[in-house]
Amino acid sequence: MASSRSKSHRMDRRQIAVHAADEKQNIAVLGASGYTGAEVMRLLSLHPDFKVTALTGESKAGQKFSSVFPHLASATDDQTLVKIADVDWSSIDAAFCCLPHATTQEVLASLPMNVKVVDLSADFRLKDVNTYAEWYGGEHKAPELQKEVVYGLTELAREEVKKARVVANPGCYPTCVQLGLVPLVEKGLIATEDIIIDAKSGISGAGRSAKQNLLYCEAAEGVNAYGVGKHRHMPEIEQGLSMASGKDVKISFTPHLMPMSRGMETASYVRMSEGTGVEELRTALEERYRSEPFVHVLKPGVAPYTHHVRGTNFCHINVFEDRISGRAIVLSVIDNLVKGASGQAIQNMNLLFGVPESTGILQQALYP
């Protein structure tokens, strides 16, 4: 009898495994030859519900994925990169779009309506197509599609993401900044007229293309500000803070390129509302993120450190009293390639398919 039950149990487990394999969603990764595409592949390699069946790379078409990213040789069955035009969409359930900015709109507008999409470019993040044209220097090429896109900063738009077909994955800086500030703005705890943000990112945030300022001798052992007063993430941050406050918000924002491969820190200098103290800011953040798997408010006095989130989908936040009366400093850190891009994209894709949100992205930090 025991042997019979054991045999039956083994058969049941095999049947369950086959059933689970049959239910995997077929995924296309568009732009798999860039950093965010590679990071999607790294994270999906252990995902139980998603199976990558198509990889594109326009400039690398015809090459094996393992030759483009040797460190991911065992992440797939070593598929060959193809051009987007050669993808057979008949069996594709969803796509991660990791294409460069200003190249995504027409591509997504041409996809079959049954394909769910998480777009990692900036092409659909700004709700106002005129604002997009102003900041990205060209007319929006899919204004009708823009109307249905959901901006997917997961912790702040979870229910909207669940109902979406196309999700605009937030930028790295906007993710880091908004997670720290939106709960405070929503509760009216800080003034929206006087927000100053000092931001720092690893070099991978600039992409994989060859650029002089990214050469080792140019970037190593030094720090430089870029996009001063005109960085394209400014309107995205302002859009989120304006929605949280119910009125237009303008910020002062300066990003810096750091001589490290990955990681991001934002320091937001804010003026507290009359009668508000730092502990109230801390309480608001703790209450908002108490049940969140990826956003952690650190203990008082502990400064977030990029090494502690390296390679993970976590965001660490803390708030400090400024020496200037009535002001506070909100610090946030993320990995720009994970929570700032590919990890959050998988977090959103999990929601699109009703998969537990943290599936495949609970890796702990790579340290030291």
Residue 355 CB neighbours (<10 A): 18
Q: How open is the CA angle 35-37-41, to the nearest 5 degrees?
A: 115
Residue 156 CB neighbours (<10 A): 20
Q: Residue 85 corresponds to which amino acid?
A: A
Q: Which of 97, 98, 172, 315 is catalytic?
A: 172
Quick check: is 176 catalytic? Answer: no
> Minimal CA–CA distance to 343: which of 98, 108, 77, 13?
98
Structure tokens at 338: 């994970």
Question: Which residues are known to be catalytic?
Answer: 172
